[in-house]
Amino acid sequence: MPVSRLTKPVNSCHQSRCYAGPKGSRPPLRGPPRAPKVLSRPKADRYSIDKLSAKDFEQAIRATNGEVGSLSPEEYYEYAKKFADATHRGPFSVSLTANDIPAEAAHETACLLRIGSSSKAHQQLATALWVSASEVNYNPSTISLAKELLHQGAWGKSQDLREVENRFMKLVAQGKDCNALTTYGESLYNSGKYSMAVEMLKQAVNASDGVFEWRRTCLVSLAKSYAKLGKPDEARDTLKTLNDLDADAELDQLLGASGVEQARQEMYTAAIMGKRDVYRQLAELEFEREANETDKGLKENYRLWGMEWSRLADPSVKF
């Protein structure tokens, strides 16, 4: 808001010189202070590729056993350099089309940077590449970045990545991309929502169109979800098609007597901490045990526990 200045007319009866001022002319008033000089940030401080070379891409390709690497290491390096240069001329998101960078090349460059370099600048460059590829609706980039955000607990914490998250949730809602469904189902498992995880992961299996990159992740997470719900037969049947000894060993540990009891205890703890939907899962578990039990005493015990968990699952019930 502008400030007006009032000018008082000079009165010859008043002394025009300050009492404490020296005789003679007054010193000139000091001018306003200069604005601080803003130093421009070094051009390469965010997406620096000074320490990046084609050799880094060669090593990363080797680490993937050839799963990533449709281009030569030199080509990946040139795309990384071109993209990094473009970021210094514009905002966080760079147009791949305007810079003549194919979405698939951008995606693979980001994947190899993630694998082959621990440099913060290179990791930021990989994220920016995925964001730009996602903007042209390249689904593998959208899903890869969403998977990282979910695993790292960073979901919803960056305004720059909000559109990527929205695109990912749209893919999940459409229910046609098996890798997107797997990623979301795995996150449900990790957050203890086992029944929801089962439904999402089963949908991923049914949606598979032959290009199911994360099929193993899907089946292992599905089997573990069944195990957490106390359904050993479904868990073992799920892993039969994998023929994976490591996955079988992990499942055996979950399905052991102590593992099943621990799973029940974890579910109960989650329920009393406020996740009331888990009571419904506990009820389903007890009713299933009742159906499979032949001993009359145990059968009745399981039925009573199932009824109690069902009662507690009702939001109107007060503790």
Domain of residue 91 covers 47-136
Question: Is 121 within a domain?
Answer: yes
In contact, 276 and 193? CB cutoff 8 Å: no
Q: Which two tokens stand for residue 125?
A: 């460059």
Q: What percent of the chain has pLDDT over 70?
A: 76
Q: Which of 24-28, 67-71, 142-146, 240-244 has the highest mean pLDDT?
A: 142-146
What's the whole-number average pLDDT of the chain? 80
Question: Is 71 within a domain?
Answer: yes
C-alpha to C-alpha distance for 76 and 53, rounded to whole angstroms: 10
Domain count, the chain: 1
Question: Is 98 within a domain?
Answer: yes
In contact, 302 and 308? CB cutoff 8 Å: no
Backbone angles phi, psi at 237, to 5 degrees: -60, -35
Question: Is 292 within a domain?
Answer: no
Q: How confident is the model at residue 8 (pLDDT cuts 50, 70, 90)?
A: very low
pLDDT of residue 34: 57
Does pLDDT of 137 surpass 50? yes
Does pLDDT of 20 surpass 70? no
Q: Which two tokens stand for residue 286?
A: 């007890």
What would the mean pLDDT of 134-140 be, rounded to a whole number?
Answer: 96
Question: Is 250 within a domain?
Answer: no
The predicted-structure confidence for 164-208, as pLDDT tens digits, reads as follows: 999 999 999 999 999 999 999 999 999 989 999 999 999 999 996
Question: Is 280 within a domain?
Answer: no
Does pLDDT of 9 surpass 80? no
Question: Is 227 within a domain?
Answer: no
The predicted-structure confidence for 255-269, as pLDDT tens digits, reads as follows: 664 455 666 777 777
Question: Is 187 within a domain?
Answer: no
